[in-house]
Amino acid sequence: MKTMQDAVGDLDRMSRTIRESDYDAVVAVSPENVNYISDVFVSTQVDIRDRLALIVWDGERAPTFILCAVEEGYVRQESWITDIRTYKEFVTSPVTVLADALCDLGLEQSRIGIELDYLGARYLTALTGLLPSLDVAPCEDLFAKVRMIKSPREREIMTQAFRGTEQALMETFQAAQPGITERDMCYGLSDRILRSGAESVAFSHINAGPNTGFPHMDPSDYELRPGDILKADTGGYYSRYYSNVGRTAKLGKLNDVDRSWWGRLREIHHAVVDMLRPGNAGRELFEAATRLHEKHDIPFPYAHNGHGIGLQLHEYPLISPHDHTVYEPGMMSTVETRVRWPGEVGYHMEDLVEITDGAPVIRSDYFDNEEILVVDA
């Protein structure tokens, strides 16, 4: 029998945060927060969006899981949550079951935090129609705050996820040769990401030559030529956590232009990575990155320079001018450093960094990109 302690995320911190909040209970609604608490991924929550899955938790008593009856079987097997209440699709509304559960828990007149960014407006209207004394408030920040700090198990999953993707990408670059297409590279990359342990490929922007000048171009029929820069921004889902790796290679020898851009980008990259220490905020890293790009005469027209990552591709904190969150040990952030000239060429690197008590640690350390990877043309 699974217990709360078996969960991948840190549910002790989650329950404590709920207890210490000014909510009497919270309702998780989004796939990532339902997954975080229950430790089960209800895939239809994503694919068949009306099939709501909800968790009510006051942080004290056992949580209540509300889901479509179709999903009950494996959820009972896989989750540590035992209070499972189901609705029959097209017959009972999930909101009715939620309202009943809140009443059973004595919460019908309480202050309830709900993910109001995610919960469709129509469902909220129905809920407040059934329970007019309910005091509903948004609670995205509570979940984001807890999930920002990764548990040891989450850090392990993410480290393996990034390394698997790095290896897949390195082998794909090494297999590149003149005449194959971007699409061929993409097939090889996707296959290797799956074989590295991913449930699925999340995105695979892998390009060559002039197409490297675009940020997120789909792989095309462009045929690789000797001297082409190869560039990828790619990721998979591993145990429901995202990887997101950026790397650059060259089909042929490096020239002085490559070395000059790459050398300056590496310098900026290392300096930003080194600022991922307790006490600093994303805002400060972004400002430093702005100055560093200016110093090295590299354009910097981006909205962010790296991001938290986990059950979602972009999590907090962000390395952005608007994020005041102070880094703490146990957080994980990507740092992405890049330069692009659309239709000409682009260079890109993106790493996963763990914030510790001391110096930050790059966890995406399988495919070292200190120099641009050279592939024989």
Contacting positions for a copy of itself (CB under 8 A): 30, 43, 47-50, 70, 88-91, 114, 116-125, 138, 186-187, 190-191, 194-195, 199-203, 216, 218, 303, 312-314, 320, 322
Q: What's the closest the beta carbon of residue 250 comes to a copy of itself, in angstroms?
A: 26
Number of C-beta neighbours around residue 310 at 10 A: 23
Q: What's the closest the beta carbon of residue 82 comes to a copy of itself, in angstroms?
A: 21
Q: What's the closest the beta carbon of residue 314 comes to a copy of itself, in angstroms?
A: 5
Rounded distance between C-alpha atoms, residue 194 and residue 151, angstroms: 25
Q: What's the closest the beta carbon of residue 283 comes to a copy of itself, in angstroms?
A: 11
Nearer to a copy of itself, 136 or 170 (CB): 136
Question: Would strands 245-251 and 315-318 be described as parallel, antiparallel, or unpaired?
Answer: unpaired
Amino acid occupying residue 286: F
Q: What's the closest the beta carbon of residue 235 comes to a copy of itself, in angstroms?
A: 10
Nearer to a copy of itself, 149 or 186 (CB): 186
Nearer to a copy of itself, 203 or 366 (CB): 203
Nearer to a copy of itself, 97 or 372 (CB): 97
Q: Is the peptide bond before 321 cis (omega within 30 degrees of 0)?
A: no
Rounded distance between C-alpha atoms, residue 58 and residue 25, angstroms: 4
Rounded distance between C-alpha atoms, residue 148 and residue 260, angstroms: 36
Q: Which residues contact 317 (CB under 8 A, 6 or more apart)?
A: 148, 281, 282, 308, 323, 325, 327, 331, 333
Nearer to a copy of itself, 86 or 356 (CB): 86
Rounded distance between C-alpha atoms, residue 43 and residue 70, angstroms: 12
Instruction: Kindly tell me the burial class for residue 2, based on how many C-beta atoms sit within 10 Å of its own C-beta (0-12, 13-18, 19 or more).
Output: middle
Residue 86: strand, helix, or coil: strand
Q: What's the closest the beta carbon of residue 273 comes to a copy of itself, in angstroms?
A: 23
Nearer to a copy of itself, 49 or 225 (CB): 49
